[in-house]
Amino acid sequence: MTTARRQATRQKLYAAAVTLIAEQGFSATTVDEIAERAGVAKGTVYYNFASKNDLFEELLRHGVGLLTDSLSRAAGDVTRHGGSRVDALDAMIRAGLVFIVRYPSFTQLYVAELWRTNRTWQETLTGVRQEAVAVVEKVLGEAVDAGELSGEIDVPLTASALFGMVLVAALDWQAFQPERSIDEVHTSLSRLLQGRVSGATTSP
């Protein structure tokens, strides 16, 4: 199987697995069901992944990797066009929202798995999460160094808070306020960034 074809097959398996597991849970989802949903033979699953656990672990790597790349591109686009580091953080917030709208089932799984401690892939999940947060942390650190944000900010903690804020706010939006547009949600989170993180105030 060629590399391109194998990647396409893996994409099908990821999509099938994430949908099924979101619907009925990891334990209840079988390899047979994943294969059927993906439209491939059961043997194809085992050709690409050693086990269901291995498939799910790689799914987490793949999904969080896509999010990390999206955040990096958003920040890079802003800075290349002369925007500030705070503008780059704002662009990352929107990129995170766009990702969650595009991959809602994966986001739900990711957030749920963060709270579990008995999974064989917990170390992998922790590692890929840190890679994503590190992208935010880098831009925050640059903003502090450039004087755009207060030097009193705890950069690692604030990066984690911003990352978590986008995830939780987006899931809440999708579940309880789906009538709102992405622009509305982005504007609200942007105001938190501009007013709470940068310390900016508005006139009474």
Q: Return the structure tokens found at 120.
A: 């064989």
User: What DSSP element (H or E) covers 125?
Assistant: helix 122-145
**For position 1, what pLDDT does the model report?**
57
**For position 131, what pLDDT does the model report?**
94
**For position 116, what pLDDT does the model report?**
79
**For position 134, what pLDDT does the model report?**
97
**For position 112, what pLDDT does the model report?**
83
Q: Mean pLDDT, consecutive 10-residue segments, the chain of 204 residues? A: 84 92 88 94 94 92 94 96 95 95 88 81 90 96 93 94 92 92 94 65 44
* pLDDT digit string, tens, across residues 35-57: 999 999 999 999 999 999 999 99
For residues 42 and 182, what is the distance between their CA atoms, to the nearest angstrom?
Answer: 39
Q: How distant, in Å, are the alpha carbons of 55, 80, 121, 134, 178 from that of 51?
A: 6, 43, 12, 30, 36
- From the list 150, 131, 158, the residue with the least C-alpha distance to 62 is 131
**For position 204, what pLDDT does the model report?**
42
- SS3 (DSSP) at 114: helix
Report pTM: 0.86
Q: Which residues of 167-199 are buried (b: 16+ CB within 10 A; e: fewer)?
A: bebbbebbeeeeeeeeeebbeebbeebbeebbe
For residues 50 and 156, what is the distance between their CA atoms, to the nearest angstrom?
Answer: 36
For residues 51 and 43, what is the distance between their CA atoms, to the nearest angstrom?
Answer: 11
The DSSP secondary structure of 56-86, one letter per residue, reads HHHHHHHHHHHHHHHHHHHHHHHHHTT--HH
**For position 200, what pLDDT does the model report?**
47
